Amino acid sequence: MKSWKRRFRNFVKYILSGSDQSKIPAVVKCIALVAFLGADDLDETEMVMETIWKVIQPKSGYNVTTVNYEPPMVVVAINAWSFLLTTISTWRINPENWIKHISHLSTLLEADDRSVRMAAGEAIALCFELKLFVVKPADEEDAKYLQHLTYMQNMKAKVIAQIGTLSCEASRKGANKKNLNEQRELFHKIWDYVMNGGNVEETGFQLEELYSKFHKAISAEGIPPSCSGQSSYA
């Protein structure tokens, strides 16, 4: 990981530039794979996750050039980010650190592109599995705790409602029907999984398949030479 760090800034610049989006998936897979195989600690993994997140949620604001990534790029980034999230031990996950991510994933459930909605849904299912919606007990008179608790309760209710809507989305005349049935089936399984308290046996929602899909998202296929030390981005 240490030798690769010398080129990490160049990877970040390349992702943020959005100059050639056709190469973004390969770059995202590369840094995710390196983090998976060689991250020395949680901080390094989170550093890579935050870099990938810049594709999922590009920064905007004064004096910031926002790059609008195409849906296929966003889907690859969500899957790679989700996979790295599965590698973090649950006891080391602080739900407070993931509020902004859950909030944006909720926004992506309403994206125009159905593949983005589905990728966001799978990531949210993982968030439920890792109990990122659960606020750890604290002093009930602590204002920050109460604020966080209320926010996450409202966010959870919103997300569950969105999942329910997507699980039975109607086929409208003239609307794009690509992957509609696949979307319904996926969100129906997620809905059952969430409403049954994460009981996989009662819902048929296969978390192993989900983990496998995330793993395939950073498979060697399409990985640039830079992952083997021959960087074309350095």
* Interatomic CA distance for residues 171 and 202, integer angstroms: 28
Residue 233 maps to a domain: no
* Interatomic CA distance for residues 96 and 66, integer angstroms: 26
Residue 29 maps to a domain: yes
Tens-place pLDDT, residues 135-182:
776 655 677 778 888 899 999 999 999 999 999 987 654 456 778 899
How does residue 183 score in pLDDT terms, banded at 50, 70 and 90? very high
Residue 234 maps to a domain: no
Q: Is the pLDDT higher at 135 or at 226? A: 135
* Secondary structure letter of residue 225 according to DSSP: G
pLDDT at 10: 67
Structurally, the chain folds into a number of domains equal to 1
7 contacts: CB under 8 Å, gap ≥ 6 = 226, 231, 233, 234
* Interatomic CA distance for residues 144 and 188, integer angstroms: 34
Residue 206 maps to a domain: yes
Residue 198 maps to a domain: yes
Quick count: other Cβ atoms within 10 Å of Cβ 166? 22
Residue 219 maps to a domain: yes
Single pTM value for the model? 0.81
Tens-place pLDDT, residues 97-150:
788 899 999 999 999 999 999 999 999 998 998 888 887 766 556 777 788 888
**Could you tell me the residue range of the domain that residue 127 belongs to?**
2-228
29 — phi, psi (to 5°)?
-60, -40
* Interatomic CA distance for residues 192 and 194, integer angstroms: 6
* Interatomic CA distance for residues 78 and 119, integer angstroms: 6
In the block, tokens 């459930």 appear at: 109
